[in-house]
Amino acid sequence: MLFTRPSGRQLPLVLPPRSLLVLSGEARYLWSHGIISRKSDVVPTKDGLSEGALTVVPRGVRTSFTFRSVKWTPCKCAFPERCDSQGYVKDSETLSSTSKTPVKLPSTEYEAATLEASHVHDVYDNIASHFSETRYKAWPPVVDFLQGIPFGSIVLDIGCGNGKYLGINSNLYKFGCDRSRNLVSVCRERSHQAFVCDSLSLPVRGNSLDVCICIAVLHHFTTVERRLHGLKEIVRVLRPGGKALVTVWALEQEKNKKKSTYLKKTKSDAKSRSNKIGAIQDRKIENKCVEDINISNLDIEELSDDKLCSSGGATQGDKIDSLKVCGEEAGTTLMNSSDLSETTGKSESVTSEITINENVANLGDTGVETPVNSDLNVHSNRTQFKQQDMLVPWHFKKPGEKVTSDKDFEVYHRFYHVFVDGELEYLCSQLSDVTIDKCYYVEGNWFIIFQKNL
């Protein structure tokens, strides 16, 4: 076990099998500890013949369990430099390279729009090129939905990102819209029809579309009212009898004892995929979309969690048990929204550290919410969510640049509201003239299909 002090001082400690180490004082609160990955260890000899002699021992399987107590009230310990309750933020979780100003959950419409502008719209415009590189593979559940639409139907992809779904099923008339001008430019480079707009105010005539898809967009809205308003806009533009598919990122990243792809993937996997894409770019392959290159085995995810991205799509599928899709934390760029109402269902496999807010209106008994005006935490990629509202980092790599370490990335933070079981269905139940066809879970995302009543 290697113990490390904030000053950089390190202390290796050999722990025998089945040992119990009780930490207190500075060792408990100030030092960090862990098992370093390597093939052998240098340890003291056991023969007792030569004092201070060392030997090399091959390493086998080593397992360490750390038991901690959670403090739910503000902490006043003597180690503020390592106490998150007193303002400590990990280097990997700082909001930017120049500022550590806390980001708060909005309490007014103006604050909500401002938060989305800075932590959704601006972010996706800045990372558009890198984001598009990682969003080359269409999700099978969304493809299945589009393939089942009748010939000649008019389809709008709201939050289309780089347009990866606009090329599915040539028997349909499809066009897309996105809040990110740079992502819409990528769509046009690929000869897709797309335009820039705000999804809270779609420039589309009411009752005119046969189908709408909204993939991984709704979870970027910062309030219930705005999420509901986004759904109402979808209903407005659908013709009577028209259908919509909406997907959001789920709080439950483990169901039926099965982890989602997001939790199973590691940061090293993500970096490896990013480097492979960079190598492809370095070869200067021209006039080809990333989709045309044989890299389907990469299944790129955001390095932020990499997951978790905004205008490119993420979702789940119809065949819940049989589908094994490449999980995407977030997908399409968001578009603003405005009228919503909260919800909640019962969340499964959620860690005990999740805070339960019993005072949020319209939430069920197990609603997990972040209190208004509270600081938004930065999510640690590839880990279970501890709250519904958070900032998810995206490690931005400029096109063509090679990545050798985390310092080669510029980190942006995107706002996400992850949905609990039943929440998306509840929101849609607040819509008038709508019938819900099905709501289901696949690979860490919630899907819902609804139809506008005739």
Residue of 217, 223, 214 lying closest to 249 (CA atoms): 217
Is the pLDDT confidence value at 213 over 60?
yes
In this prediction, residue 423 has a pLDDT band, given cuts at 50, 70 and 90, of: very high
CA distance 49 to 51: 6
CA distance 127 to 303: 12
Taking residues 216-228, report their average pLDDT: 96
In this prediction, residue 234 has a pLDDT band, given cuts at 50, 70 and 90, of: very high
Give the angle subtended at the CA of 317 by the CAs of 315 and 322, to the nearest 5°.
Answer: 135
Cβ 221 vs Cβ 248: under 8 Å:
no
CA distance 329 to 307: 4
For residues 136, 139, 140 and 144, what is the CA-based torsion angle, rounded to 10 degrees? -110
Do you know the residue count of the chain? Answer: 454
Parallel, antiparallel or unpaired: strands 434-442 and 209-215: unpaired
Tokens representing residue 117 in the block: 């502008």
- Residue 446: beta bridge partners? 248, 441
C-alpha distances out from residue 166 to 177, 181, 230, 294, 307, Å: 11, 17, 21, 20, 21
pLDDT in tens, 129-163: 889 988 888 999 999 999 999 999 999 999 999 99
The mean predicted confidence, pLDDT, of the chain is: 75
Backbone angles phi, psi at 441, to 5 degrees: -115, 135
CA distance 161 to 138: 12
Residue carrying structure tokens 């909005």: 106
**Identity of residue 378:** V
In this prediction, residue 373 has a pLDDT band, given cuts at 50, 70 and 90, of: low
Residue carrying structure tokens 């706002």: 415
Parallel, antiparallel or unpaired: strands 238-249 and 209-215: parallel
Is the pLDDT confidence value at 224 over 50?
yes
The H or E element containing residue 177 is strand 173-178
pLDDT in tens, 283-296: 433 333 333 322 22
Q: Is 19 exposed, middle or buried (0-12, 13-18, 19+ CB in 10 A)?
A: exposed
Residue 45 CB partners (closer than 8 Å, separation 6+): 53, 54, 55
- At 6 the pLDDT is 75
Cβ 125 vs Cβ 302: under 8 Å:
no
Taking residues 336-347, report their average pLDDT: 32
In this prediction, residue 367 has a pLDDT band, given cuts at 50, 70 and 90, of: very low
* pTM of the shown model: 0.60
